[in-house]
Amino acid sequence: MTTPKFVLTAPNHCIINGVLGPHHTLVTGAEGFIGRWVRSRLLSAGRNVISLDQKSNSTTPGIFYACDVTDPRQLQEIFRAHKLNSIVHLASLLPTASKQNPQAATQVNIAGTLNILEAARNFQVPRIVYASSLSVYGSSGASDTASEISPTAPEDLYGAAKKYAEALGEAYAC
């Protein structure tokens, strides 16, 4: 399978494989702190945003799905309903919740990411943005000098799951 060619044009349109159409971005974890900010910025830029989160919020602008990223069937229905051009994957259980419930953290942070990547592959979504964490670097990443080439040394389940999800993304990018 070849990777679709993706070019942004007007604020809410893009060209994929030579076909101009509306630009649809899926934001997972859309009700989280970063998710709300990303969604707001995309909407301000004129993007068509499809929001996805476990938390249902009737005030979410645009299209919203109360969906669990650990359920591939739910994701397939959403991907089938929308011709997505990009995904901003922010859904995760944060460090405290990960420590309190390691099984749920593994399901959301690793299996959920795998489900997003697999759905993106199956529905030929050309771009995915994944939010990792400084936690992948452990205490060695506590400064502002950590970068993608810094050695990783996660010290908790959250950091390890984020590091593993990065590796999944790299494997799917090949």
> Catalytic residue positions?
158
Q: How many other C-beta atoms are found inside a 10 Å radius of the C-beta of residue 96?
A: 9
- 3-class DSSP string for the chain: CCCCCEEECCCCEEEECCEEEECEEEEECCCCHHHHHHHHHHHHCCCEEEEEECCCCCCCCCEEEECCCCCHHHHHHHHHHCCCCEEEECCCCCHHHHHHCHHHHHHHHHHHHHHHHHHHHHCCCCEEEECCCHHHHHHHHCCCCCCCCCCCCCCCHHHHHHHHHHHHHHHHHC
